[in-house]
A and B are shown apart, each in its own frame.
Chain A
Amino acid sequence: GAGVSQSPRYKVAKRGQDVALRCDPISGHVSLFWYQQALGQGPEFLTYFQNEAQLDKSGLPSDRFFAERPEGSVSTLKIQRTQQEDSAVYLCASRTRLAGEVEQFFGPGTRLTVL
């Protein structure tokens, strides 16, 4: 079956522009995660959704970052007034509803470059 998909795969933005990154999780997956991966680093947690509820947004670096999942499926990560330090790969992952399941399935990522 189809895995997690993300779009666009690459995004170049001028500093100060707003961007929106989309994640389509695996159908039926309840949990959805966003991560930021800077060059040479591991993924860093941004936020977590259970269905449409954003249960943890402690990793969002500033109030310029906003995520939503209004219908409990597709999610959008929005970055307002992008800065050069926002340049990174943004990963989305989803997970089933099975109790005790920990495996996250990752998407291919969106590489954001802010000029």
Chain B
Amino acid sequence: AQRVTQPEKLLSVFKGAPVELKCNYSYSGSPELFWYVQYSRQRLQLLLRHISRESIKGFTADLNKGETSFHLKKPFAQEEDSAMYYCALRGYNFNKFYFGSGTKLNVKP
């Protein structure tokens, strides 16, 4: 079964602290993984995808197939990073995405 798990509902850190949002997946093939973000009163939007191996707004995520994880990391959190973050997987059916339940990141001043 294809499934995405985000174990933390809420993560609170202070500004300038490192942050790691956890994502684990269940998939038997080679998955495509994504992080989506939803800022307050804004739409869900793509943050980054593992294939591009890019850093967006200081965030990076590495696919670890051994641990079936795709954790999102940022070395120094900013207040404007406060948002809901969703990990998503695109599996066998290229048009079907599976989302985790989301982690709310709260960056305190």
Contact = CB atoms under 8 A, between A and B. Distances in A.
Interface string B92-109: 010111111110000000
A44 B99 contact: yes
A72 interface: no
A106 B95 contact: no
Interface string A1-25: 0011000000000000000000000
Contacts, number: 51
B49 to A, nearest CB: 7
A40 B32 contact: no
A65 interface: no
Interface residues of B, number: 22
A99 B109 CA distance: 43
A105 B46 CA distance: 8
A33 B36 CA distance: 16
B43 interface: yes
Contact of B99 (A3, A31, A43, A103): A43
A48 B95 contact: yes
Interface in A71-101: 91, 93
Nearest to A38: B101
Contacts of A43: 44, 86, 97, 99
A47 to B, nearest CB: 10
17 contacts: A3-B43, A31-B95, A41-B101, A41-B102, A42-B99, A42-B100, A43-B97, A48-B96, A50-B95, A56-B93, A91-B44, A102-B34, A104-B97, A106-B45, A107-B43, A108-B43, A109-B43
Interface of A: 3-4, 31, 33, 35, 40-45, 48, 50, 55-56, 58-59, 91, 93, 102-109
Given A42-B6, A42-B100, 15 more contacts: A40-B101, A42-B99, A42-B102, A43-B86, A45-B98, A50-B95, A58-B96, A91-B44, A102-B32, A104-B46, A104-B97, A106-B43, A106-B44, A106-B45, A107-B43
